[in-house]
Amino acid sequence: MIDASQIRAARSLLGWSQNDLVAETRLSLTTVRRMEDSAIGPGRSSAENVSVVQKALEAAGVQFIPENGGGAGVRLAKPKG
């Protein structure tokens, strides 16, 4: 599962505000803020909401990097072509 810091970092890579993420996902601003709050995080959101956020960010070109002992992260996908 993605974590709060990955969501914030993904938004930053894309140059998106929280309101941009709200527009892309149709979730409430409160939900997005809670998911990005390290004290709360996406683990307390529904699996459906986490999936919606992850899919929106991935569709915009973000790749989520799993923990794998080196720390979870994000990166932008290499442009095709």
pLDDT in tens, 35-44: 999 999 999 9
Three-class SS state of 54:
helix
> Is 81 a member of any domain?
no
> Is 39 a member of any domain?
yes
State which residues form the domain around 23.
Answer: 4-76
Answer for the pair 34, 26: CB distance below 8 angstroms, yes or no: no
- For residue 29, the domain's CATH number is 1.10.260.40
> Is 8 a member of any domain?
yes
pLDDT in tens, 1-59: 899 999 999 999 999 999 999 999 999 999 999 999 999 999 999 999 999 999 999 99
Q: Is the pTM of this model over 0.75?
A: yes
> Is 69 a member of any domain?
yes
What total of structural domains would you count in the chain? 1
